[in-house]
Amino acid sequence: MRKIFAIIPALVFCSAILPQDDELAKSIERGKMVYSENCISCHMGTGEGVTATFPPLAKSDYLMETPESAIKAIKFGLIGKIKVNGVDYDNMMPNPGLGNDEIADVTNYIMNTWGNSSEKKMITEKMVDEIKEKK
């Protein structure tokens, strides 16, 4: 009887964790396609970017330390100076015209690829929707 009481919490815990891992994996896969269609020409196939022109996404302190800023850049575009991994970038990133679901997916992809790790924290469409452009 005690074994059953020990197994039930473990099953509940696993069922709470596994679906998000599965959803994150699906989001990353969709995000890879979004990246290939919209981002690869500037940020390159391995996320290394072009020094002093297009910032790297691979092992990017800007991306990993301020994901909200990265989401805002994807959602609205970016004009102005930013510093990524100690290098200044002052170029324009146009608004790619993606939906909130695509932004969440591509963010999950870049935050879990090329040496980046979101530690299983998933960016959701709702989180992207809550990011507002400053006027």
76: Cβ contacts below 8 Å, ≥ 6 apart: 95, 133
CATH level 3 topology of 2-130:
Cytochrome Bc1 Complex; Chain D, domain 2 (1.10.760)
φ/ψ of 89, rounded to 5, equals -130, 130
Nearest alpha carbon to residue 113 among 69, 57, 66, 51 = 57
Q: Residue 105 above 90 pLDDT?
A: yes
DSSP state at residue 82:
E
Confidence band for 21, pLDDT divided at 50, 70 and 90: confident
According to the model, what pLDDT value does residue 62 have? Answer: 95
Per-domain residue ranges for the chain? 2-130
